[in-house]
Amino acid sequence: MNGTAGKKTSGKNPDIKILLSVDSSSFPLGNGAKQSEIWHSGYYPIVWTNKNFKMVYFNMGHNDMDYDHKTNATLSHTFDSPMEAKMILNALIWVGTGKKVD
């Protein structure tokens, strides 16, 4: 998600509830082929819901690639974290049944 999309989502609509955002201690974040692809600061919501609808939006990105050393090797995998998988499964259960899962 680029910075513009995140900022449009955050705080402008009272029906949007931000559930998860990028921790600012993670900056700089990214390893893009272009300097503009690296986040240096800002507020980036990555999971949110709209209180008027039963929905959850996930913007979890993509695999981190090694562009710096020109190997294009995969450095990390999206959906490789047990905590991330649990969050997605819990959200799907909530969307499908309305039941909160701990």
Express each pLDDT in 37-64 by its tens digit. 777 888 888 899 999 999 999 987 667 7
Model pLDDT for residues 67-86, shown as the tens digit of each residue: 778 888 887 777 778 888 89
Phi, psi torsion values for 18, nearest 5 degrees: -75, 125
The CATH number of residue 32's host domain is 3.40.50.880
The CA–CA distances, whole Å, from 80 to 30, 36, 86 equal 17, 26, 11
Q: Is residue 55 part of a domain?
A: yes
What average pLDDT does range 95-100 have in this prediction? 90
pTM of full prediction above 0.75: no
Domain that holds residue 77: 3-97
Q: Is residue 102 part of a domain?
A: no
Q: Is residue 59 part of a domain?
A: yes
For residues 63 and 26, the model is more confident at 26
The count of domains in the chain is 1
Specify the pLDDT at position 27. 76
Q: What percent of the chain has pLDDT over 70?
A: 82
Q: Which amino acid, one-letter code, is at 83?
A: M
